[in-house]
Structure 1
Amino acid sequence: MSVDRNLNRIIAKRYRLVQLIGTGAMGQVYRAEDKILGNATVAVKFLSQTLLNEKMRERFEREATICANLAEKSIHIVGVRDYGVDEHQIPYYIMEFLQGRSLSDIIQEENISQARFLSLCRQICLGLESAHKGIVFKGQHSPIIHRDIKPSNIYVIHDPTIGELVKVLDFGIAKLIQSGGSQTSSFMGTLAYCSPEQMEGKELDNRSDIYSLGILMYEMLSNEMPILPETSSFAAWYKAHHEFPARPFDSHLNMPKELADLVFKCLAKKPEARPQSISEILAIIQQLSQDLEHSSHQSAQTISKPSNPSAGINSPTLISRVDEFYLQASWPPDKPQQKIVFPKIMDLAEGVYPTIWVMLEHQDIIYRMSSIRYNQFLYLGSPHPMVLWLTVLYHQQHGPRWLPCYLDFKTETGQNVGRLLGEVGSYGILFFALTEPQQCKHVMKASIAPHQRKLLQEWSEGASGIKHYGKPQISKRILKQELEKLKPKIVEKLVKIKASPESNV
């Protein structure tokens, strides 16, 4: 039995290789410990020694560049943090370590419900959409075609705030579409998931990925392949992708017609007959998700909780013990007098309390006095530990007022606020009028759901004492993007609650 000599090697005087966790066409992947960042776990991917030529080095470096750039745009792309060459002149790059399962394992071991399928597929599409929109590469905008979409290149991890989080992996044979760049007619990919034009070695666009996505979606829904060749040879797969129609879904799956139509349209032999962009697919998935949620709601006669983290919903109640002190507060001189939201810890005789301070138009404050309150906390640990603390005030006539603020969990202040929110289980909302900032105009109290309190304390404890890598602006941008995706679901839920006769408004 051969011994892996790479184990316990230290790369770049920083990364200690602990375990071989994967091998592929382009190289090997190791689990490693980052000695600088308190033994934080990372993954190290090496280019295979059998591929050590200038062309493959360039391709490998390009893969690292693509992932690094895309991960800043989408939480659904595996992140790359570093790139280098070891003492043997073998290129490597450092990426986030994913603890979860490949979609291939999930398909083999489980039956995926339609609701779960829609959630996973939406996230896959969001990652692909970011790639197809492209990055700036060598000063030029370049759309990216993955060219190897398949279950083993999709990873599903558990995120404490989002739940099941999808990551698209392995951009090893991805193609950057650059004007004036050299074109390729070589075939690369996985035979079972290749589009007809990819089998021909043609230059590809985003519609080739859409064909591969169609095969992936069919497999997720049925645990079977839509097209099977007569043999496993290239020629047999070529014939299957060009000539064999996709098999209909079995009737026992009870597949909605709209969903089946979407899958089969993605599997069209000609690119022009497929959806022309991932955005088209996302719009259909969104509508299917809404239809399924509405159907579940009607049958259960309950309000469905979103797959994202739950949140506290409160009917208006004035703070009883400390509102007198809050109402005496004046707007801080170091804060601009404009519509902003910021967190503040209030140290009073009765104790220490977390609050958010809000400046609005005076009339808007009056509207919000009879609003339903909703709060939610989203956490992102990488690349920078950050919490989005969201409060929503919903008024039936005037709609939602979004009050987001951010807690930087790399700072002691951010950790303390998060910990305090978990311990107290509620916070005050102090309203100040734009034209009269001298004194607080109104105070409301918002309660935090028990499981969210627990998460806040866990996040605070987990972030303390650990050095984190990455710019806070990146995490804040990702959280803002997630908030925009959540807004329609939050509003839909609040509309239902407002219409309920049990709502105390």
Structure 2
Amino acid sequence: MTDPNIDRLLAKRYLLRELIGTGAMGKVYRAKDILLGGVPVAVKFLSLSIHNQRIQLQERFEREAKTCALLGQKSIHIVRVMDYGVDENSTPFYVMEYLKGKSLSDVIRLETLSLARFLSLARQISLGLQCAHQGISINGKIFPIIHRDIKPSNVVIIPNSSFAELAKILDFGIAKLLQPDGDRTSYYMGTFAYSSPEQMEGNELDNRSDIYSLGVMMFEMLTGKMPLHASTDSFGGWYKAHHSASPRSFDSVNSKLKIPSELKNLVMSCLAKAPGDRPQSVSEIIQTLVSLERQYSSLTLLEQPLNVTPAKGAIELENQSIKPVLSTEQCRQLSWPQNKPIADIIFSDSIRINNELMAALWLMLPQQEIHKRTDNRRYNQFLFLASPHPIMLWITVLYSYEHGPKWLPYYLDLKTSQGQETTQLLAEKGYYRLLLFARDSPDRASACLYLNIASAQCQLLQQWIMLSQTLVSAGNPQFSKGLLKQEFEKLKPQILTKLEARYSKKIF
């Protein structure tokens, strides 16, 4: 039977093209936003009709949809809701960003997660939950958001140019939206296998219910199995399991798993029957996961090779085939700006010589350090974070076998004109200059290095500029900068491994 929604124009704007998902809460379609030139979006129709019901239900839907939209702007780990409404059949719908990736349920079913990958995904999911639990400010009032249906099928894993892969949580607030008004103690909404004991009772929930569901999901991610078994796949069977059955131990599921005891304890504490015995906030979980990442980032769960996926667009070698348009001698005529302190700092400012404008990084170092770095191999990479505030991290590395790496990170705020102009220059030119000044002779550049940017990264830079122009900042730029710093620290060993491997193989 033909789906009547295919090729349907919704709200005079969204052209529905393909059914891509179905579930208890509704259907999801891939669509095109014709007002934005065919930009792909996802439209979810909820299994709820407000026809002939009280107007308060429609108002509640609009309030919940608005809250979810704000939440998606606040965290990169929560799907962005861009529009919402009610169609001519009185069916509510969401319009979300279209995510081309894999469901976490498929990842668990088809792949074996390395410990490093598990820790990264679990931390990202936890960051999304933390953001929701901290709440959204509307008209000066904070509204905490509880998901109520955390499970692998509500997490999508997408390739990402900055973080290799990105975890995003779907369907925030929808479970609450679908609850009827009135006495909630006799009403249940969720997924049996992942629901907390208090959720099975139909009680009012807090953040600790999501923590229980997260514990179930983390156990499944680590083992491929569920921590609890129900005698029957029914409400009664799962009610009994969540209330009285003890979770299986990791060793009983697979004795060959190499899981740190601290991680086992964390998961089991999340699975405590009583909310008071679980971690009281997701922040506690994140703290443990981050600590484990630092200790075990290179280990695997099973005795097999670790498959590390590098960030897309990473530039491993400087491309020497492009001839610089500006001579080194011309660059060395530049003087250190008078409004900058004579100190070991780095900043970005474009330079123009012979009517040629290009991006440049200005760096001041001791003269001895400059001597060590002028003939180093060069590496660059760019990371981007869209939310809560668009920030780009511009990474430059100078490397020699004798002296090791010199890390030169620089952050660009892409909501500022300077940040956008610099990024545009990088994208258009495909190269930049690194100007090195000595503290004792700032009137003249001691060295001028040329660095090429891979074409794939130039395309991404253009995309990031366009995206940043449409985004609304939902947080402090320093918060985004802090998140990028964390990712940079995790990325450093991967970059260094590449540089050392290439040096040892005499590829340089």
Q: TM-score range by the shorter chain?
A: 0.7 to 0.9
Q: In structure 1, which of residues 255, 262, 275 is the aligned counterpart of residue 259 of structure 2?
A: 255
Pairs within 5 Å for 1:277-426: 277-293=281-297, 310=314, 322-330=327-335, 337=340, 341-344=347-350, 346=352, 348=354, 354-358=358-362, 375-379=380-384, 387-391=392-396, 402-405=409-412, 414-421=423-430, 424=431
Cross-structure match for 1:4: 3
Q: What is the CA-CA distance between 1:168 and the residue it aligns to? A: 0.2
Q: What is the CA-CA distance between 1:144 and the residue it aligns to? A: 1.4
Say if 2:218 is the partner of 1:207: no
The answer on whether the counterparts of 2:72 and 2:79 sit within 8 Å (CA) in structure 1 is yes
The alpha-carbon distance between structure 1 residues 479 and 468, as it changes in their structure 2 partners (threshold 3 A), is: closer
The answer on whether the counterparts of 1:383 and 1:470 sit within 8 Å (CA) in structure 2 is no
The answer on whether the counterparts of 2:394 and 2:409 sit within 8 Å (CA) in structure 1 is no
Cross-structure match for 2:470: 470
The alpha-carbon distance between structure 1 residues 495 and 102, as it changes in their structure 2 partners (threshold 3 A), is: closer
The alpha-carbon distance between structure 1 residues 221 and 443, as it changes in their structure 2 partners (threshold 3 A), is: same
- Where does the alignment leave 5 or more consecutive residues of structure 2 unmatched? 319-323
Describe the superposition over 1:412-461 as per-residue Cα deviations: whole angstroms up to 9, x where unpaired.
Answer: 8744521422xx4xx31235799998x5544442645xxx6142233267
Partners of 1:217 and 1:441 in 2: how far apart?
Answer: 53
The answer on whether the counterparts of 2:74 and 2:131 sit within 8 Å (CA) in structure 1 is yes
The answer on whether the counterparts of 1:38 and 1:467 sit within 8 Å (CA) in structure 2 is no
The alpha-carbon distance between structure 1 residues 184 and 251, as it changes in their structure 2 partners (threshold 3 A), is: same
The answer on whether the counterparts of 1:342 and 1:358 sit within 8 Å (CA) in structure 2 is yes
| SS at structure 2 position matched to 1:20 | strand
The alpha-carbon distance between structure 1 residues 365 and 392, as it changes in their structure 2 partners (threshold 3 A), is: farther
TM-score, scaled to structure 2: 0.77
TM-score, scaled to structure 1: 0.77
| SS at structure 2 position matched to 1:43 | strand
Partners of 1:116 and 1:467 in 2: how far apart?
Answer: 28
Q: What amino acid is the match of 1:27?
A: G
Partners of 2:49 and 2:326 in 1: how far apart?
Answer: 72
The answer on whether the counterparts of 1:306 and 1:489 sit within 8 Å (CA) in structure 2 is no
| SS at structure 1 position matched to 2:35 | coil
Q: What amino acid is the match of 2:330?
A: F
| SS at structure 2 position matched to 1:455 | helix
Q: What amino acid is the match of 1:270?
A: A
Q: What is the CA-CA distance between 1:195 and the residue it aligns to? A: 0.9
Percent identical: 44
Q: What is the CA-CA distance between 1:65 and the residue it aligns to? A: 1.9
The answer on whether the counterparts of 1:419 and 1:456 sit within 8 Å (CA) in structure 2 is no
Q: What is the CA-CA distance between 1:492 and the residue it aligns to? A: 6.5
Partners of 2:475 and 2:438 in 1: how far apart?
Answer: 31
The alpha-carbon distance between structure 1 residues 96 and 493, as it changes in their structure 2 partners (threshold 3 A), is: closer
| SS at structure 2 position matched to 1:41 | strand
The answer on whether the counterparts of 1:383 and 1:468 sit within 8 Å (CA) in structure 2 is no
Q: What amino acid is the match of 2:150?
A: I
Cross-structure match for 2:321: none
Partners of 2:36 and 2:285 in 1: how far apart?
Answer: 40
Q: Tell me whether 276-285 or 324-333 shows the greater mean CA deviation.
A: 324-333
**Count of paired positions:** 474
Say if 2:230 is the partner of 1:229: yes
- Where does the alignment leave 5 or more consecutive residues of structure 1 unmatched? 177-181
Cross-structure match for 1:179: none
Q: What is the CA-CA distance between 1:154 and the residue it aligns to? A: 0.5
Q: What is the CA-CA distance between 1:32 and the residue it aligns to? A: 1.0
The answer on whether the counterparts of 2:76 and 2:386 sit within 8 Å (CA) in structure 1 is no
Say if 2:82 is the partner of 1:81: yes
The answer on whether the counterparts of 1:312 and 1:447 sit within 8 Å (CA) in structure 2 is no
Pairs within 5 Å for 1:481-492: 481-489=482-490
Cross-structure match for 2:43: 44
Cross-structure match for 2:18: 19
Partners of 1:8 and 1:265 in 2: how far apart?
Answer: 49
The alpha-carbon distance between structure 1 residues 457 and 499, as it changes in their structure 2 partners (threshold 3 A), is: closer
Q: What is the CA-CA distance between 1:357 and the residue it aligns to? A: 4.0
Q: What amino acid is the match of 2:429?
A: L
| SS at structure 2 position matched to 1:241 | helix
CA RMSD, Structure 1 to Structure 2 (Å): 4.5
Q: Tell me whether 77-86 or 240-249 shows the greater mean CA deviation.
A: 77-86
| SS at structure 2 position matched to 1:98 | coil
Partners of 1:191 and 1:473 in 2: how far apart?
Answer: 37
Describe the superposition over 1:456-475 as per-residue Cα deviations: whole angstroms up to 9, x where unpaired.
Answer: 233267689x8987236469
Q: What amino acid is the match of 2:193?
A: A
The alpha-carbon distance between structure 1 residues 355 and 295, as it changes in their structure 2 partners (threshold 3 A), is: same
Q: What is the CA-CA distance between 1:140 and the residue it aligns to? A: 0.5
The alpha-carbon distance between structure 1 residues 222 and 492, as it changes in their structure 2 partners (threshold 3 A), is: closer
Q: What is the CA-CA distance between 1:276 and the residue it aligns to? A: 1.9
